[in-house]
Structure 1
Amino acid sequence: MSTGTELQETVADLVDGSRGVLAADESSGTIAKRFDSIGVESTEELRRFYRSLLLSTEGLENYVSGVILFEETLGQRDDAGVPLPQLAAVRGIVPGIKVDKGKGPLPGALGDMITYGLDGLAERLAGYKEQGARFAKWREVYPIGPCNPTRLGLTANAEMLARYAAVCQACGVVPIVEPEVLMDGDHSIERSAEVNEAVWREVFAALGRHGVVLELLLLKPSMVTPGGDSPRAPPQQVAEYTLRSLRRTVPAAVPSINFLSGGQGPEEATANLNALNSLRQAPWQLSFSYGRALQEPALKAWGGKRQHAAAAQRALLKRARLNHLAVLGEYQQTLEQA
Structure 2
Amino acid sequence: MSTDRYTVGSLIQQLENYDERQTLESLLEREEFTSLLHGIYTSLSAESKSTAQEMFRKTNVTKKKRTKSTALVIILGIHNIALPPSIQTQYQIWKENPSQLWRALDGQNSEQSIEVAAIEAYLVAQHLRLRQVYNVILWRFYVSFFYQLALLLGHGQKVMTNNLHNILYERLVKAITQSKKINDDITVIKANLQLWVAAGARYNKICTALDKGALFLIPQIPDDVWENPNSLKGAEFDEAMSHLRSLGIMTLSDQLGADNLANQILNSALDPFRWDVVTTLNVNQPIEPRTSFSIEPGAPAANLSIEPRSSFSSSSTQPMTSAVNISVEPRTSTVKPNSISSLLNPT
The answer to which structure, 1 or 2, has the higher relative contact order (CA under 8 A, 6+ apart) is 1
TM-score exceeds 0.5:
no
Larger radius of gyration: 2
TM-score, reference length from structure 2: 0.21
**Normalized per residue, which structure has more helix?**
2
**Normalized per residue, which structure has more strand?**
1
